[in-house]
Every structure is written in C-alpha cells, then in structure tokens.
Structure 1
C-alpha cells in the first residue's frame, strides 16, 4: 500500500521584491529544525526566489536530503469563481482577470494536485516530502483533500509564513488532513495570524 506524507510549508516572510527578510530566514530555520526530526526524503520548492531560499535554509537542517524545484508549486490563483459567487471583500481582487488567466491558473492547480495530492504508487516504502510553496497553492491542496467546492480555497488562504500543513495520502483511502497552518515552531514574535494590527496568538 503506497503511503505518502506531504508537508506543505509557506515560504518565510519576504519583502516587496520577493526576497526573504531576516525574519523570513529565522522562520525558515525554525521550521527546518522541526522537520529535521522526521524521515524527510526530499524538499521541493516553488521556482520563486522566496520559496527557493526558504527551502535551502530548511534543508540545511537535514544533511543529504535532496532539494529540487517543482514548477507546480509556483504562486498562482487556482480558481476564479463567477462574480455572483464572490463576497464583497474578494470582488476587487479578481478585477482584471480574464478567462485565459483563469484557465492557466486552473491548469497549474490541476498539475499541483496531480503531482502532490495523490499517493506515490511507485514508491516501495512510505515517503515524506516537504513542499515549500505559497499560500494559495496550500489552500487549494487542503480544499482538494477535503473534496470541498473549488471556490472554498479562498476561505483557506490565510496561511502564515512557514505555517505547516500536513496531508497524508494512502492508496485506496481518502486523503487525511493532519494539520493546517500550524505555527507551534515559531515564537510569538514570528507568528502571523491574519488579525488586524498583527495580533499574535
């Protein structure tokens, strides 16, 4: 029976140019230390610099673990709902999206699920893979694992920098969502909750 655990990690905090800040590097070191206790086989990352650097820092805590890029993990909008499905807070976000952009985002999202949202039937033993990506792809993966409607990804998109989401995939069984956006590896000053004013938990 093929068993696969995927550890989805949002990249560390980044500046306006997409480069990790000192805070983002500290967050990445801490999630690396947490994941180093596990039998990680590979650390995948998005092509974008903030994810690639986060992955290198994470993998530094795991000597001899493969680090590689996966194009499917790139930051993207996975699904654009019809306008009548949108809450007022989301209407402005989707202004200017045309059909071709929406279709391209959905193709990327489908590729993401095909690559990381299924059991690895070729593996001879259980595998453990880290995927360093972005908030929207993580939201889409959780939505898929829960078999929720496509538009529900938006309610799951508040993922913190280096928040940890874990999904188990076993052949013949539905995906198991173990945790979503867990920040227990971060001290309070490095946590982001999404509350107005940066309030921490």
Structure 2
C-alpha cells in the first residue's frame, strides 16, 4: 500500500518591485514556518526565484532547521495555459494580448512538468511505500492555481481567477487510487490582519 502525499503549498512572502522579500514578507514566511512546525515535513521545495528561495529558508528556521531545502524548476513563476479566445473571460483578454505561440507552449510545458512531479502520489521525498510524505512547496500564484485546477480535474482555463495571497496556505492530499483532495485553499489563519491579503488589490476584505 502506498502512502499519502501531503503537499503544503504557499506563495512566497511579500516582495518589492525588484523581487526581493520585504520586512513583511520575511515575517509572513516565519509565521508560516511556525504554523507548519508540528508537522513531519520531509522536504521544502522552492521556485528558483529569490523571493521564493528566501521564503523557504525563513520558514525552515521555525521547522527543525534541518529539513532539506531544494530548488524545483517546475515551481518557477509562469503562465501555465493560455486559453483560446472562446475560453478567455473578457477581463483577461488584455493580459494575453500579444502572447506568442512559442511562449504559450513553453509555459504549458512547465505546467505539465509541475503536475507530473507534484500532482501525483509518488515523489522524491518518498522513504517508504508505507510512510506518508509531507512536503512544502514555495512558489507563485499561477503555479498554485494550476495545481488546484489539476487536483479538481477542471478544464485547463479554470486556473484563471484562482489567486493566492503571500504565504497563504493551500493543502492538497494525494492518496493511492483516489482523486486528490483539496484540504484548504488560500488560508491565512497564521497571519495577523495587517499581514493578510498582500498580493491582492487593496480593497475591503473579510
């Protein structure tokens, strides 16, 4: 019997215009680390971009400090699927205007690699076929949306409109011979109100 694969997925902490973590972003990552500290995390995987790599290191301080932290190129920020004109909501049309076929194909190839590596029961952190896996993925809003869409087996264009706040937590369970289970999405319970909803437009939030 194969084990359950538990993925704890989060967007990197708040970053500045140059892609570096802000003071708020570092605190968000630390608070996420504290939230996950009681779990038997076996590995932390992060995007190659500095804001994700630095977030992974910050939260690891509040785990055991000995968890393997590794770069996963599949977690890079990318557009996972460019919808056809008929699939594109009117508000998104300007976003895709001028997108070249080569660029769209490259982004979708990354997305396929992402789900191939992290959207399955198996994984590199497997130590025993009977031992559950617990992995943290620090990435970006679009890859998170694609992983959620994949778990729901939704049409590819449904990644549109799924957004994640900085260090908000999404949890997906992969169990043998069963559909994936989304335990939570965009959960900010570990953040005080002043650190919530960064990465979203500044409008009133619940």
**Whole-Å separation in 2 of the counterparts to 1:139 and 1:51:** 16
- CA RMSD, 1 decimal: 1.4
In the alignment, what sits opposite 1:132? 138
Q: How far does residue 195 in structure 1 lie from its aligned partner after superposition?
A: 6.7
- Equivalent in the alignment of 1:17: 18
The alpha-carbon distance between structure 1 residues 193 and 199, as it changes in their structure 2 partners (threshold 3 A), is farther
Stretches of structure 2 that go unaligned for 5 or more consecutive residues are none
Name the structure 2 match of 1:184: 189
SS of structure 1 residue aligned to 2:161: helix
Cα deviation for residue 44 of structure 1 reads 0.5
Match of residue 43 from structure 2: 42
CA distance in 2, matches of 1:195, 1:17: 18
2:33 aligned with 1:32, yes or no? yes
Measured in 2, the distance between the counterparts of 1:196 and 1:138 equals 18
Matched residue SS, 2:114: helix
Looking at structure 1, the residues matched to 104 and 73 of structure 2 have their Cα atoms a distance apart, in angstroms, of 18
Mapped to 2, the partners of 1:199 and 1:171 lie a distance apart of 41
| CA distance in structure 2 between the partners assigned to 1:120 and 1:195 by the alignment | 33
Aligned mate of 1:94, from 90, 93, 96: 96
Equivalent position to 1:145, from 139, 143, 151: 151
For these two proteins, the number of residue pairs brought into alignment is: 200
Deviation at 1:193, TM superposition (A): 7.2
Q: Distance in 1 between matches of 2:74 and 2:172?
A: 17
Gaps of 5+ in 1: none
Normalised by the length of structure 1, the TM-score is 0.95
Deviation at 1:95, TM superposition (A): 1.2
SS of aligned partner of 2:160: helix
Q: CA separation in 2, counterparts of 1:194 and 1:107?
A: 26
Structure 1 moving runs of 4+ over 6 Å = none
Cα distance, 1:87 vs. partner? 1.6
Go from structure 1 to structure 2 and tell me whether the alpha carbon gap of 1:17 and 1:180 turns closer, same or farther (over 3 Å shift). same
Q: State yes or no: 1:79 paired with 2:81.
A: yes
The alpha-carbon deviation at position 56 of structure 1 amounts to: 0.3
Maintained 8 Å contact 1:11/1:133: yes
